[in-house]
Amino acid sequence: VASGGGVAVPSPAAMEAAELQVGFVGAGRMAGGLARGLLRAGKVPAGSILASAPSDKNLDAWRESGCRTTHCNLEVLQESTLVFLATKPHVLPGVLQEIRPAVGPHHIIVSLVAGVTLQTLQRVLPAGTKVLRLMPNLPCVVQAGAMVFARGSGVGDNEATLLKSLLSSCGLCEEIPESYINIHTGLSGSGVAYVYLFAEALAEGAVKMGMPGSLASRIAAQTLLGAAKMMLETGEHPAKLRGDVCTPGGTTIHALHQLEKGALRATVMSAVEAATNRARDMAED
Amino acid sequence: AGVLAAHKITASSPDTDLPTVSGLRKMGVNFTVSNKDTVKSSDVLFLAVKPPIIPFILEEVGPDIEARHIVVSCAAGVTISSIEKKLSAFCPTPKVIRCMTNTPVIVREGATVYATGTHADVEDGKLLEQLMASVGFCTEVEEDLIDAVTGLSGSGPAYAFTALDALADGGVKMGLPRRLAVRLGAQALLGAAKMLLESEQHPGQLKDNVCSPGGATIHALHFLESGGFRSLLINAVEASCIRTRELQHVADQEKISPAAIKKTLLDKVKLESPSLSVASASKVSLFTSKSSSS
């Protein structure tokens, strides 16, 4: 199958990731995060990345990283095999109409657009187009992201495996049923903000007790990082890990009692619930 | 539990009208109104009176304590040293064990801990452990943990009964007949406790195992967490433990108001222990007698 530029594009399954041409329609924060993650992991050379955006405002940073940029969405489809759709939701319908003529069976279209279902995407794009939906989170930028993706009806195991292997360079990447995507938003998309809030509060507690703020902040962050790392590496239940830290009558159990008194657990559950519900509501808009 | 034949057990109480008295009698236990008789016919002596009464009892039975006796106090908050101090007026090396148990010993699912005193041997502790293990779980601990045990498993059955009552209310609210609701609630707690005791897994993991994503249980748990369920339980254990320590402090001061003891018992004690002197109305000091030099 020849692309508009006259370059023969082999099937994705046969391609090494390094030969893959990756495109981004929309060059905002999330797209930038993903691209930066891919680049830092060395999975895709900057020259293989092409991003489009209406203005240069966002594109400068991409060029600085060595990526190619354009103002023409169609060009991204023509030059790339793996195409990330990363526009704002209200812009997407117009963009889909625009790129539709250039979409072919060799493309792998991955939508990052919040609230737009696979059903919608498949309805607008040519029948049989390989479409996936991806919900990343911001720490993809530092290769510690949490990403979930759901595959559309035209997608086979090869494409799913390719995407997963590519994105694993940015953090944790799991395939899920589409219905989990909103939950992932509540848990991890927005969840990153909950953690920042908690870190800020930890540091503030330390400041109250006499520690300088910037030191407290760095230690707070490292504490969260270390605890998370232990969870991921030991695979042990967090309740068990929590117990391991609690010497009888010691400092930790006293502190935990304060957290329980404040019903922290319930509040966090409510936060995840609220964000998930909002994601669901917004999707129906 | 078949560990001891009924006729080898003697129990005494000044008040023979108590329902427990007839229960004990029916079991074939020897019953007497004389504490002294109980001591004389026993090797292992369980002091099962309320904490403020302990000093009185010790004063009363002290002269009859011999080297062979193992004195086991089940009184919340009463320290080994306070008992030893009292008894050493009568016996140079009294064997004292302090224990904390709980009411489910009745159904042989008790939770008991014990700490051995200065003169109690390893075998004495093991004897008690053997007795108490026949009615549930029993283990030795350092004495300074016993107040915490009181807060947790001593008072624990009361927390469970409260929970069960409320669970049953929940069941009734949603349409279950009361009897069935109580039965099912109790069985659910019994089953959960058994699972935990038999499992290597953390209770948090066991909880997760019950919570299907988006299901009924996780919705219910959210309510529990919102109400601060966990912190309430932590508060309860803490409050009970602290109160136990307060009681110990009161007992240690060895001052007790006459209002704390029934007049009949006070009179009886005065009768049997002429060496005990009773001060004026506001407080009774126990140790004005010759024995206070210990």
Distance CA A186, CA B70 (A): 63
Say yes or no to pLDDT of A149 above 50.
yes
Distance CA A162, CA A82 (A): 10
Q: Average pLDDT of chain B?
A: 84
Q: Are residues B168 and B121 in the same domain?
A: no
Question: Which among B143, B165, B185 is the end of a domain?
Answer: B143
Distance CA B110, CA B136 (A): 4
Give residue-wise pLDDT tens across range A167-199: 998 899 999 999 999 999 999 999 999 999 999
In this complex, the residue of A239, A257, A273 whose CB is nearest that of residue B204 is A239
Q: Are residues B225 and B172 in the same domain?
A: yes
* Poorest-pLDDT segment among A5-19, A76-90, A138-152, B43-57: A5-19
Local confidence band at B255 (pLDDT 50, 70, 90 cut-offs): low
In-domain check, residue B294? no
Q: Are residues B47 and B137 in the same domain?
A: yes
Site from A182, A260, A267, A277 to mutate, B interface, most B CB atoms within 10 angstroms: A260
Q: Are residues B43 and B69 in the same domain?
A: yes
B221 vs chain A: nearest CA distance in angstroms? 9
Cα separation values, A13 from A4, A48, A49, A152, Å? 21, 17, 19, 17
Distance CA A261, CA B235 (A): 9
Give residue-wise pLDDT tens across range B45-95: 999 888 888 888 898 888 989 888 999 999 888 999 999 999 988 988 999
**Do residues A169 and A38 lie in contact, with contact meaning Cβ atoms separated by under 8 Å?**
yes
Cα separation values, B150 from B111, B112, B143, B239, Å? 10, 10, 12, 10
Predicted pLDDT at B294: 35
**Do residues A25 and A83 lie in contact, with contact meaning Cβ atoms separated by under 8 Å?**
yes
In-domain check, residue B103? yes
B229 vs chain A: nearest CA distance in angstroms? 8
Q: Average pLDDT of chain A?
A: 91
Whole-model pTM: value is 0.78
Number of residue pairs across A and B with CB atoms under 8 Å? 43
Distance CA A213, CA A219 (A): 10
Tell me if chain B has a CB within 8 Å of the CB of A261: yes
Predicted pLDDT at B37: 82
The domain that holds B222 is classified in CATH as: 1.10.3730.10
Among residues 78-97 of chain A, which lie with CB inside 8 Å of chain B?
none
Q: Are residues B166 and B232 in the same domain?
A: yes
Predicted pLDDT at B13: 79
Q: Are residues B73 and B52 in the same domain?
A: yes
To which residue do tokens 């306070």 refer?
Answer: B82
Say yes or no to pLDDT of A30 above 90.
no
Residues with Cβ < 8 Å from A23, sequence gap 6 or more?
A49, A50, A51, A52, A76, A77, A79, A80, A82, A83, A84
* Poorest-pLDDT segment among A69-73, B16-20, B71-75, B242-246: B16-20
C-beta atoms of A260 and B230 within 8 A: yes
CATH number for the region A22-180 comes to: 3.40.50.720
Total structural domains in chain B? 2
In-domain check, residue B282? no
Residue of A nearest to B148 (CA): A249
Say yes or no to pLDDT of B272 above 60.
no
Q: Are residues B204 and B236 in the same domain?
A: yes
Token pair, residue A208, equals 């109250």
C-beta atoms of A240 and B202 within 8 A: yes
C-beta atoms of B225 and A239 within 8 A: no
Return the closest-CA partner of residue A132 out of A76, A172, A189, A181. Answer: A181
C-beta atoms of A239 and B227 within 8 A: no
Distance CA B10, CA B33 (A): 10
Question: Chain B partners of A243 at a C-beta cutoff of 8 Å?
Answer: 202
Sequence-distant contacts of B273-282: CB under 8 A, at least 24 apart: B273/B59, B273/B60, B276/B59, B282/B257
In-domain check, residue B3? no
In this complex, the residue of B205, B225, B234 whose CB is nearest that of residue A265 is B225
**Domain assignment of residue B171, given as a range:** 155-242
In-domain check, residue B281? no
- For domain A190-282, give the CATH superfamily: ProC C-terminal domain-like (1.10.3730.10)
Say yes or no to pLDDT of A43 above 50.
yes
Question: Which among B115, B143, B171 is the end of a domain?
Answer: B143
Of B44 and B287, which is predicted with more confidence?
A: B44
Q: Is B139 helix (H, G, I), strand (E, B) or coil?
A: strand
Q: Are residues B224 and B178 in the same domain?
A: yes
In-domain check, residue B39? yes
Of B79 and B279, which is predicted with more confidence?
A: B79
Largest CA distance in chain B: 72
Tell me if chain A has a CB within 8 Å of the CB of B121: no
**Do residues A30 and A138 lie in contact, with contact meaning Cβ atoms separated by under 8 Å?**
yes
* Poorest-pLDDT segment among A55-59, A117-121, B12-16: B12-16
Q: What share of chain B is helix, strand, coil (3-state, %, to 5)?
A: 60, 10, 30
Predicted pLDDT at B59: 87
* Poorest-pLDDT segment among A95-99, A114-118, B51-55, B140-144: B51-55
Tell me if chain A has a CB within 8 Å of the CB of B219: no
Return the closest-CA partner of residue A68 out of A55, A83, A52, A50. Answer: A50
Sequence-distant contacts of B162-167: CB under 8 A, at least 24 apart: B163/B189, B164/B189
A138 vs chain B: nearest CA distance in angstroms? 25
In-domain check, residue B251? no
In-domain check, residue B198? yes
- Tell me whether residue A73 is annotated as binding: yes
B90 vs chain A: nearest CA distance in angstroms? 38
Give the torsion through C-alpha atoms of A69, A72, A77, A79, to 10 deg.
-50
Alpha helices (H) in chain A, listed in sequence order: 29-40, 56-64, 73-79, 92-99, 118-124, 157-167, 181-184, 191-208, 213-234, 238-245, 251-261, 264-284
Say yes or no to pLDDT of B262 above 90.
no
Residue of B nearest to A244 (CA): B202
Domain ranges of chain A: 22-180, 190-282
Distance CA B194, CA B199 (A): 8
Local confidence band at A7 (pLDDT 50, 70, 90 cut-offs): low
Distance CA A96, CA B242 (A): 68
- Model ipTM? 0.71
Distance CA A78, CA A99 (A): 9
Alpha helices (H) in chain B, listed in sequence order: 19-27, 35-40, 54-61, 80-87, 122-133, 146-149, 156-173, 178-198, 203-210, 216-226, 229-252, 263-272
* Poorest-pLDDT segment among A95-109, A111-125, B167-181, B245-259: B245-259
Give residue-wise pLDDT tens across range B128-143: 999 999 999 999 999 9
B234 vs chain A: nearest CA distance in angstroms? 7
